[in-house]
Amino acid sequence: MNTPFNFRLTKFPNEAEILRHEVREFLSDALKDVPKETRAETWYGADENFSRKVGQQGWIGLNWPKEHGGAGRSSMERYVILEEMLTAGAPVGAHWISDRQSGPLIIRYGTEKHQKELLPGILKGESYFCIGMSEPDSGSDLAALRTKAEKKGDIYLVNGTKLWTSGAHRCQYMIALFRTSQEEDRHGGFSQFIVDLSLPGVTIRPIIDLAGRHHFNEVIFEDVEVPQDMLIGTEGNGWNQVTAELALERSGPERYLSSYMLLQELVNEFSNKNDDEGVTEIGRQMSHLTTLRQMSVSVAGMLDQGENPALEASVVKDLGAVFEQELPNIAHRLMGLEPDSKGTDFQRYLAILTQISPSFSLRGGTREILRGIIARGLGLR
Amino acid sequence: MLNETSQLLSDSIEKIFSDHVTKDCIISAEKGEWPQSLWNEVIENGLNLVLVPENLGGVGGSWFDAGILFKAIGRYQAPIPLAENIVAGYLLGLGEVPFPENSIITLLDGELQLSNNKLSGVSHRTPFGNHSTHGVAIISDNNKSKLVLVPILDNSTSDDKNIALESRSNIEFKNVEVLHVIDVDFSSDLILKIGALMRSCQIAGGLESLLDQSVRYANERIQFGRPIAKFQAIQQELAVLATHVAASGVAADYASSSMDDGGDELAIASAKSRVDDAISICASIAHQVHGAIGFTYEHGLHFSTRRLWSWRAEYGSGSYWAKILGEKAVSNGANNFWPSITSGKI
C-alpha cells in the first residue's frame, strides 16, 4: 500500500532561525509606516523602496549561487525570509516574482550575457519581472496560446496579447512563453523569451480588478522586434521549461498565508471576548496553518535537495488556497461585521481579503487544474 | 528516506500486517475472537517494545518510529492493542519499570483512587480492556502523581465495544493490589496527550487506506462503458480526498517527531484537530465513490470508516484540542501568534 506523495518532515537549520530574528528586527523598523490595508495585501502589495531595502540586506537571491551574485545560502533560509515578510504584511510584490522564479530561470537556462546583464538589478531589488503566460483564449489551457514569435534574421517578430499579467505596469521585463513553430505535439513549438517591456510595439493596459485596484494588465505585442539572443533556454523547449518552474511557483508560503493578517486580527479580537466558539475556531485554523506550513516546508526541503516535488507542490497549493479562501468567510461568521475599508483594523482586513480571495484559487494554476494533476498522480488519468 | 531503525520497523510491520491482517482476521475480531497468531508475531518482533529503553530490554526507538507503527495499525485496521501497548511500555520506561513478560497492557482512564497500594474505581471505555492482562494509570492527587501498573482480574471487565466493534471495556477495580507504584513528575494529562498523538497517527493511516481503496475501486468499477476513474467528477473528488490524506500524514508525523523534541502541545493538538477535519471530508468522499457496495458489511471499506468515526472522539475530539490551541493563542496575544507557530511552542 503506497501513497503517491512523499512529504517527509524538514527542520529548519539553526542559521535559519538566527536569520529569522534578523528579519523580524528589520521588518519592525521597515514596516512601521505601512498602512493596514497594504499589509493585508502581502505579496499583492508593492513598494519599490521596500524592495530596494530588502535588496540592500542581501535578502533577494539568498539561495542563488555566489557566482551569480547570490548569497549561496539554503532554500530553507530563503523560506524563513518569505514567511516572515508575509506574516508581517510586507509589500513584497515588486520583487517577488523575480526572486522566486525569473532569477532562478535565468540562472538555469540563461546565457552568460543574460546573467551578467539581468541578475544584478534583480538582486538590488530594482529590476522587476512579470510572467507572460495566460492569453485571452488561453487560461487553464496554456497550450492553446497563440502569441507568435517568428524568426526574421537576427530578431523574433512578436504579435499577440498576454492577459492577467500581474504587475506588468511596474516591471521592466516579462518572461514570456510564445509559439515559435506549429508542432504535432500540442506541447511542442513553444519557447521562452525575456522581453524588454520598453520595446516599441509593446502596450500595457491596466485591468482594474473587482476591488478597484490596478494589479493585472493586458500586454499587447504589435510587431515587436525581440533580439534573437533574448530567447532563453532552447527553442521549442518552452513547455518543459515552464513546467519545471511550477514546483517553485506552487508550494511557497504565499500559497497559504494570503489571509494571514485576518487570522492574526481574529486572535486580537477574541483576546478580549469570552467566546468558546470563536476561540475553538481560531484553534482549528491554527491546526490547518501549522500543518500546511509543515507541508510547504517539506517541499522546500525537497527542492533544496534538487528533487522535483511537482505533485506535492500541487497538493500544497490546492489545500493552501482552500484555507486562505475560507478565512474571510470564517471571520465573517464569527464577527458578523461589515467589511469596511474605513472601519476598524478587522473590518479593513476583511474588506480587502474578502474581495481578493476569489483569486487565490485561480492564480498560479486553478483549483481544477491542480486537482487534475493530483488525479494524474493517483493514477486516475 | 528513513533511518535504519525506522526502516526496519516499517518493513517488519508491513510484512506482519499484510500476512496476518486479513478480512477474515478483522471479522473474527469483531465477533470477539482474540487474533492470537497476529499478536504473537507482533510480540516476537518486539514491536510492542519500540519505546521501551534499551537498558530495560526494549528497542529504544523514537516517537517517530512509534508513529510509523501507529499509522500502520490504522492503515491495515489491525484489531490489536499495539498502539496502547507501545504507549504503556513508554510510560513504564519513564518509571524504570521493564515491560512485564507475556502481558497485554491497556491505558486506564477514569475515577481511580490509590490507597495503601490498592487501586479502586472504574476505568471507562478502556481500549481492548477485556483482552488485557494489566493496566497502567497515572493517579494524580494533591499535585502529586503516581504511575501504577495493576493486574486486570477475571470478571472485572464489561464487554462494551465501540462502533468498530473494538473492545472498550469498563473495568472495575476493588482494592486491587498494584504491582508497581512510582512517583512521577507528570500528571494524568500525559495519557490524554499521548493518546491524542497515538489516535492521530492511527487516523492518518486509516485515511491512507480510504484513499487506497477508493482509487482502486474507481479504476475497477465500470459505468457508462468506462472505469468511473475516467470521469472528471470522480477525479476531482479523489484529488480532494488525497490532499486531506496528505495533510493528515504530515500532521501526524509532525506530532510524533515533536514528542522526540520535548513534546509541546501545539503539534499534537494540531494533529488531532486537523485529522478530525479530514475524516469528515474523506469518509464522505470514500463512501460516495464506492456507492452502495461500500455501504455493505461484505465490502471492507467500513473497517476503516467505522474506526475513524470512533477514534476521532477518543483522547479529546478535534474541537477539544482546537479549543486548547485557541485559548492559548488568545491568551498569548496576536503579537505572539506567528512566533508560536514557528517555534512550535504555545
Distance CA(B238)–CA(A181), nearest Å, equals 37
Distance CA B239, CA A374 (A): 6
Q: Could you tell me whether strands A214-227 and A155-166 are parallel, antiparallel, or unpaired per DSSP bridges?
A: antiparallel
Q: How many residues does chain B have?
A: 346
Q: Give the Cα separation of B107 and B100 in Å (integer).
A: 15
The average pLDDT across B32-47 equals: 97
Chain mean position to CA B252: 11
C-alpha cell at A57: 540586506
Would A304 be classed as within a structural domain? yes
Residues A326 and A361 both lie in one domain: yes
E strands, chain B, in order: 105-107, 110-115, 118-127, 134-141, 144-151, 168-177, 180-184, 222-223, 226-227
Q: How far apart are CA A281 and CA A110, in angstroms?
A: 48
Catalytic residue positions of A? 249
The pTM score is: 0.96
Q: Give the CATH number of the domain where residue A210 resides.
A: 2.40.110.10
Kindly state whether residues A226 and A111 are assigned to the same domain. no
Q: Say whether both A136 and A122 belong to one domain.
A: no
Per-residue pLDDT at A2: 59
Q: How many domains does chain A have?
A: 3
DSSP letter for B176, please: E
Please provide the DSSP assignment of A247-286 as one string.
Answer: HHHHSSGGGT-TTHHHHHHHHHHHTT---HHHHHHHHHHH
> Cα separation of B103 and B219, whole Å?
44
Does one domain contain both A205 and A286? no
Task: Quickly tell me which residue has 497559504 as its cell.
Answer: A256
Tell me if A245 is assigned to some domain: no
A300 and A354, same structural domain? Answer: yes
Count CB-CB contacts under 10 A for residue A58: 13
- Within 8 A by CB and 6+ apart from B1, the residues are A8
Same domain, A269 and A172: no
Which 3-state string (H, E, C) describes chain A?
CCCCCCCCCCCCCHHHHHHHHHHHHHHHHHCCCCCHHHHHHHHHCECHHHHHHHHHCCCCCCCCCHHHCCCCCCHHHHHHHHHHHHHHCCCEHHHHHHHHHHHHHHHHHCCHHHHHHHHHHHHCCCCCEEEECCECCECCCHHHCCCEEEEECCEEEEEEEEEEEECHHHCCEEEEEEECCCCCCCCCCEEEEEEECCCCCEEEEEEECCCCCEEEEEEEEEEEEEEHHHEECCCCEHHHHHHHHHHHHHCCHHHCCCCHHHHHHHHHHHCCCCCHHHHHHHHHHHHHHHHHHHHHHHHHHHHHCCCCCHHHHHHHHHHHHHHHHHHHHHHHHHHCCCCCCCCCHHHHHHHHHHHHHHHHHCCCCCHHHHHHHHHHHCCCC
The ipTM estimated for the assembled molecules is 0.96
A188-to-A142, A178, A240, B161 alpha-carbon distances in Å:
12, 11, 9, 61
Window A:77-136, CB contacts with B under 8 Å:
83, 87
Could you report how far apart the first and last alpha carbons of chain A are, in Å? 19
B-chain residues within 8 Å CB-CB of A319? 243-244, 246-247
d(CA A122, CA B112): 67
Measured CA to CA, the distance from residue A168 to residue A203 in angstroms comes to 10
pLDDT of residue B218: 98
Q: Are residues A153 and A209 in the same domain?
A: yes
Name the residue with cell 514570456.
A176
Q: Is B251 on the interface with A (CB under 8 A)?
A: yes
Report yes or no: B209 at the A interface, CB cutoff 8 Å: yes
Please identify which residue in the block is written with the cell numbers 517568428.
A150
Q: What is the mean pLDDT of chain B?
A: 96
Is the domain of A102 the same as that of A169? no
Dist. CA B133–CA B128, nearest whole Å: 10
Q: Please give the distance of CA A345 from its chain centroid, rounded to a whole number.
A: 26
Residue A63 sits in a domain of what CATH number? 1.10.540.10
Give a yes or no: residue A2 inside a domain.
no
- The residues with which B282 forms a beta bridge, in sequence order, are none
The DSSP 8-state label assigned to residue B296 in this structure reads S
User: What is the residue range of A20's domain?
Assistant: 14-127
Judging contacts by C-beta atoms under 8 Å, the chain B residues touching residue A369 are: none
| CB within 8 Å: B342 and A83 | yes
HSE toward the beta carbon, residue A287, CA cutoff 13 A: 33
The answer to whether residues A27 and A103 belong to one domain is yes
| Partner residue opposite B270 with nearest CB, options A8, A276, A287 | A287
Last residue of a domain, one of A103, A127, A151: A127
> For the residues B187-206, what does the mean pLDDT come to?
96
CATH code assigned at A325: 1.20.140.10
In a domain, A3, yes or no: no
Burial class of residue B22, CB neighbours in 10 A (0-12, 13-18, 19+) = middle
* pLDDT under 70: residue ranges of chain A: 1-2
Considering Cα of B288, then B292, then B294, then B297, what sign does the dihedral take?
A: positive
Sign for the pseudo-dihedral over CA of B68, B74, B80, B84: positive
Summarised one tens digit per residue, pLDDT across range B240-266 is 999 999 999 999 999 999 999 987 789
Among B218, B242, B329, select the one facing A282 at the smallest CB separation.
B329
A246 within some domain: no
Say how far apart CA A132 and CA B142 lie, in whole Å.
68
Last residue of one domain, picked from the residues A127, A146, A169: A127
> Which residue in chain B has the smallest CA separation from A290?
B341
Cα separation, A251 vs B243, whole angstroms:
13
Which residues in chain B are contacts of A294 at CB distance < 8 A?
Answer: 250-251, 253-254
Cα–Cα distance, B275 to A279 (Å, whole number): 19
Q: A21 — contact with chain B (CB < 8 Å)?
A: no
- Is the Cβ pair A278, B326 closer than 8 Å? yes
Assess A381–B contact: CB distance below 8 Å, yes or no. yes
Dump pLDDT digits (tens) for A289-331.
999 999 999 999 998 888 889 899 999 999 999 999 999 999 9
Which residue in B3, B214, B243, B272 has the most chain A C-beta atoms within 10 A of its own C-beta, making it the best mutation to test that interface?
A: B243
Tally of helices (H runs) and strands (E runs) in chain B:
11, 9
Maximal CA-CA distance, chain B? 73
| pLDDT on residue B20 | 98
Partners of residue B65 in chain A, C-beta under 8 Å: none
The distance of B152 to chain A (nearest Cα, Å) reads: 37
Coil, helix or strand at residue A108: helix
Residue A98 sits in the same domain as residue A181: no
Does residue A335 contact residue A267 with C-beta atoms inside 8 Å?
Answer: no
Instruction: Tell whether A158 is covered by a domain.
Output: yes
* pLDDT tens profile B114-161: 999 999 999 999 999 999 999 999 998 878 999 999 999 999 999 999
Asked which of A73, A100, A127 is the last residue of a domain, the reply is A127
Q: Cα separations (Å) of B197 from B193, B247, B265?
A: 6, 15, 10
How far, in Å, CA of B273 to CA of B27, rounded? 30
Query: Which residues 292-351 of A are in CB contact (within 8 Å) with B?
Result: 292-295, 298, 312, 315, 318-319
Same domain? For A121 and A147 the reply is no
Q: What is the DSSP letter of A98?
A: I
Q: Are strands A190-196 and A231-232 parallel, antiparallel or unpaired?
A: antiparallel
User: Residues near B224 by Cβ (< 8 Å), separated by ≥ 6?
Assistant: none
Point out the residue among B1, B244, B329 whose CB comes nearest to the CB of A286: B329
Residue A289 Cα, gap to closest chain B Cα (Å)? 8
Report which of A329, A257, A266, A261 is spatially closest to residue A297, judged by C-alpha positions.
A257
Residue of B nearest to A272 (CA): B330
**Which residue type does A43 have?**
W
**Interchain CB contacts (distance < 8 Å): A and B:** 173
Residue A5 located in a structural domain: no
User: A288 and chain B: CB distance < 8 Å anywhere?
Assistant: yes
- CA nearest A264 in B: which residue? B334
Determine the residue type at B131: H
Q: B300-336, pLDDT tens digit by residue? A: 999 999 999 999 999 999 999 999 999 999 999 999 9
A210/A266 same-domain check: no
CA distance A362 to B215: 27
* Residue B1, pLDDT score: 60
Q: Tell me which residue of A79, A302, A31, A68 sits closest to B1, measured CA to CA.
A: A302
Mean pLDDT of B65-80: 98
Q: How many CB atoms within 10 Å of residue A169? A: 16
A290, B266 contact by CB (below 8 A): yes
Contact A318 B327 (CB under 8 A): no
Asked whether residue A6 is assigned to any structural domain, the reply reads no
